[in-house]
Structure 1
Amino acid sequence: MLQCRTPVQRAQALMCDISETGCRIELFDGYVSKGSTIFFEIDHRNELAGQIVWVRGSEAGVKFMHKLSAVVRAALEL
């Protein structure tokens, strides 16, 4: 489970179906809107940004804004 935030709200989410270009998230609290930017706190030094491309209830699809770095890939066990 990762901490994540949109520009104005913090939430907890489970990252699922992770690929090089995006993932599906399950939100445990909070909400996101299609088109909004989301930031995942990988560790205290690394963050991963993406854009919400779809929302269905407490699940959402995220397209990553940048290619995953080696540090982020290792942290996500890819």
Structure 2
Amino acid sequence: MNMHSIPRSTERRPLSLVVRGRVRSRPVYVDLLDISEGGCKIRGGLGFASIGDRVVMKVGGINAPLGVVAWVEGKEAGVAFEGEMHSAVLDYLCKMQGASDAHEDDDARRRL
């Protein structure tokens, strides 16, 4: 099974955060690439996860629902949450990301 054969029930929102999580009960740091109410896409090192592994993550200081790895392609994996992340939480995370990006852009302009 690959990522293209899994139907999506909700729209994924792009997000770029480094999050701490646990895969196979061991701590990992992964890049969170996108997120929705029902799951997310993460990137780690080769072999960091296998289909069926349970995943626990804290995203922006908020505990994400427990998840299961649904697909793996190279260093990327799709996580299907066992519950749902509330849309207001997703709005907050995306807004927080946007504020962080704007702050970094302002800092870069000041250095020029």
Structure 1 length-normalised TM:
0.77
- Of structures 1 and 2, the larger Rg is shown by 2
- The letter for the 1-side match of 2:26 is Q
Aligned length: 76
Q: Which structure: greater strand fraction?
A: 1
Unmatched 5+ stretches in structure 1: none
Q: Please provide the CA RMSD for this pair.
A: 2.3
Q: In the alignment, which of 74, 93, 108 is matched to residue 57 of structure 1?
A: 74
Higher helix share: 2
> Cα–Cα, structure 1 residues 68 and 14, in superposed 2: closer, same or farther, change >3 Å?
same
- What percent of counterpart residues are identical? 29
Shift >3 Å, 4+ stretches: 69-72
**Amino acid paired to 2:41:** R
Kindly provide the CA deviation profile for residues 15-55 of structure 1, in whole angstroms up to 9, marking residues without a partner as x.
11211111111114770110011000232xx4222110011
> How far apart are the structure 2 equivalents of 1:70 and 1:19?
8
* Aligned pairs for 1:3-14 within 5 A: 3-14=20-31
